[in-house]
Chain A
Amino acid sequence: MKPPPMRRIGIFLFVMAFATISAVSARQQTKTTSSPAAKPTMVALDPSEAKSLGSKSAPITIEVFEDFQCPACRNFYETTVKQLIDDYVNPGKVYLIHRDFPLDMHPYSHQAARLANAAAELGQFETVERALFDSQDQWSANGKIEEAIASTVPGAQMKKIRDYQAAHINDINAAIERDRTLGVKRNVSQTPSIYVTSHGKTEALPGGGVDYKLLRNYLDYLLRQ
Chain B
Amino acid sequence: MVTSAVTTESQSPPRAWPRALLLLGRVILGVIFLVAAFTKLYFNGGWHLGDYHFFFGMAINSYNLLPVWAVELLARGLPWFELALGAFLIIGIGLRWSGIIASALLLIFIAAMTRAYIMGLEIMCGCFGNNEKLGPWTLVRDSSMLVLALAVTIGAFLIKKRSAAISS
Q: Which stretch from A2-10, A49-57, A156-164 is at the chain B interface?
A: A2-10
State whether the Cβ of B58 lies closer than 8 Å to any Cβ in chain A.
yes
Once A40-B44, A209-B62, A214-B68 are accepted as A-B contacts, the answer to whether A221 and B54 lie under 8 Å apart by CB is yes
With contacts defined as CB atoms under 8 Å apart, how many contacts are there between chain A and chain B in the complex? Answer: 98
From residue B40, how far is it (CB to closest CB) to chain A in Å?
Answer: 11
Q: Is B59 an interface residue (CB 8 A)?
A: yes
Main secondary structure of the interface of B (DSSP, over half): helix
B123 contacts chain A at the CB level, 8 A cutoff: yes
Interface residues on B, range: 35 or more
- Using Cβ atoms and an 8 Å threshold, which residues of chain B touch A32? 45-46
Q: Bound state CA distance, A21 and B92, in angstroms?
A: 19
Contact A211 B92 (CB under 8 A): no
**Is A28's beta carbon under 8 Å from chain B?**
yes
- Nearest Cβ on chain B to A140's Cβ, whole angstroms: 17
Cα A58 to Cα B124 with chains together (Å): 29
Tell me, yes or no, whether A190 is within 8 Å of chain B by CB: yes
Mark interface residues in A35-52 (1 if CB within 8 Å of B CB, else 0): 000111000000000000
Q: Mark A13-35, 1 if CB is under 8 A from B, else 0.
A: 11001100100010011001000
Q: Does B153 contact A (CB under 8 A)?
A: no
Interfacial residues of chain B within 78-92, with CB under 8 A of chain A in the complex: 86-87, 90-92
A204 contacts partner chain B, Cβ-Cβ < 8 Å: yes
The residue of chain A having its C-beta at the shortest distance from the C-beta of B51 within the complex is A221
B61 partner residues in chain A, CB cutoff 8 A: 210-211, 214
* Interface pairs A-B: 9 shortest CB-CB: A10-B92, A14-B90, A218-B54, A10-B91, A32-B45, A206-B59, A206-B130, A206-B124, A206-B58
